[in-house]
Amino acid sequence: MKRNGLITIILLLIFSCSQNLMDKTIYFPDEDDSNLPAYTEWGYNSFGAKYERSYIFATHDIVPCKIIYRSGTLDFSLSGRTGRGYYSGYSGSEEITLNFSFPSVAMKEYKDLLALNKKEIDLKDASCTVKMTRNSQPENLTILSGRLTFKRVQILRVDDKENRAILSGVFNLQFLRNDQPETITDG
């Protein structure tokens, strides 16, 4: 990941519950920080971010991304674990989910996600909310600044049927948590 203050997201939305190769998290380390995945647009079911002096990263045991549309709002969630980095293992790490909610056109099928292609969301906008869930405890964050940018959306077809959507992008976030400033940066 390049040192541009943004965090890379590489996601593959899972359509079925089958455990095949497309459902697994594939980790290719970034050349600048091996604790984070490299940015690609290939749908490796992976994401990573620096969180203060720690990391958030996708793991094999948690579905890394979920998208739910309801009543004009899109909920985009990234789930993983915190820790010293991908290679340090999951022992002692805590589960964490970032949920970004923002206004959206209706999303009912994979192809509808194409509306997110090259879309940039200002997370400080009053119409957006960001929630962090740690150890099953949800908390709304007070956003100081931040952006969520969907650089590319691709629809994957298997046997001539839309099967998945690959979302690639970046985000950064500064917020108050327990009245203390915190950051999620440097993907």
Residue range 102-147, pLDDT digits in tens: 999 999 999 999 999 999 999 999 999 999 999 899 999 999 999 9
Residue 33 falls within a domain, yes or no? yes
Residue with tokens 């940066």, as numbered in its chain: 185
Residue 187 falls within a domain, yes or no? no
User: What's the domain range around 77?
Assistant: 7-181
Q: Which residues contact 83 (CB under 8 A, 6 or more apart)?
A: 54, 55, 57, 89, 90, 92, 93
Tokens at 43, concatenated: 């749908």
pLDDT(181) > 80 = yes
Half-sphere exposure of 179 (CA within 13 A, CB side): 0
Residue 86 falls within a domain, yes or no? yes
**Distance of alpha carbon 28 from alpha carbon 36, whole angstroms:** 8
Q: What are the φ/ψ torsions at residue 88 (nearest 5 degrees)?
A: -80, -5
pLDDT(59) > 50 = yes
